[in-house]
A = this chain, B = another copy of it.
Amino acid sequence: MTSPLDRAPTMDDVAAAAGVSKMTVSRALRGAVVAAPTRARIMEAVSRLGYVPHAAAGALASRRSGFVAAIVPSMDNSNFAETVAGLEAALRQAGLDLLLGTTLYSSAREEALLHTLMRHRPEGIVLTGGAHSRRVAALLGRSALPVVETWDLPASPIGGVVGFSNRAAGAAMTAHLASIGRRRIAFLGGASRRDPRGEERGRGYEEALASAGLGPPRLFRHGQPPLSMRHGAEGMARLLERWPEIDAVVCASDLIAFGAIGECQRRGIAVPARIAIGGFGDFEVSRCAVPAISTVAVDARGIGERAGAMLARAVAARRRGDALPPERIEVGLRLVARGSSLLSGPPPDPAV
């Protein structure tokens, strides 16, 4: 019977309780070769004492923090929240802990955050997007850490990539709206340069418009990221003032599309009869809204899972001493046509 300690038990306490050396305890807990009876004695002592390994001590001695840092723009946006959930699941499976930070779409914050996170000596880093400040790129280059960029296909990636072409996404929705006969198609996105992915979708819109021969773009920017439904409603109001003739709108995200549709409904503008609307991201609200919102679907959770798995592989390789060649996964986009861009289908909904 051991007397209770006034401090948290250490590995030495466990070793003493099990009648072995500290090193054997260490091996047993990390799954190295230890004779079965010895291991059993150790495990019994661990649970009897309530021993919890001290991660910082282990990290210091082994030079392996077991951390992976992830930097996302925001968690309020359900898209990134799903990516983080996927990441967390994939990393947990690989025995890595997730250290999370949000930039709120500010690259100054991204840089400060990276510094803070680096103090914990992460073994890998997940970034959102492919555009980073020079200093961030330099810091990452110097650190020689495995990096995975997500939600984009950077022209010259730092390391691995799990993403898609935001330009293609914007173009796909534009082409879809053209294919159902719309000719005066507008784009509604954010006002700021802080969201490069939204900007790219706008560029895809312009390209698709040009290649369909649909005249000069009607591109309207409103609101600072994180863009939400409110910006969609406000932006739609302004858009209608400026170009009352429009018959379709490509929105930078489903949230914007939802707000835009709401504004149309308040003004008595029929969607999709008079104006068809499409979004991006396949948020749940798009499936459940009336009318349901057409979107370009992207597997947000899958991006997180794949990025996590990719980074886990790179971390494992680095621990072995070899460096994996950077992988690049392009995840698919899927155009999902729903009520907001389709006249057919279920009968029109009665007034609410």
Contacts and interface: CB of A to CB of B under 8 A. Distances in A.
A258 B349 contact: no
A56 B52 contact: no
Interface residues of A, number: 65
Interface of A: 8, 50, 52-57, 59-60, 65, 74-76, 78, 81-82, 84-85, 88, 92, 97-102, 115-116, 118-121, 139, 142-143, 228-230, 232-233, 255, 258-259, 261-262, 264-266, 268, 270-271, 284-285, 287-291, 346, 348-352
A284 B52 CA distance: 42
A84 B102 CA distance: 10
Residue from the set A54, A232, A258, A264 with the largest chain B CB neighbour count within 10 Å: A54
B233 A288 contact: yes
Contacts of A287: 229-230
A81 B76 contact: yes
A120 to B, nearest CB: 5
Copies in the complex: 2
Given A142-B50, A265-B290, A284 B55 contact: no
A290 B290 CA distance: 9
A349 B268 contact: yes
A97 B116 contact: yes
Contacts of A59: 56
B350 A268 contact: yes
B230 A288 contact: yes
Contacts of A143: 8
Contacts of A100: 98, 100
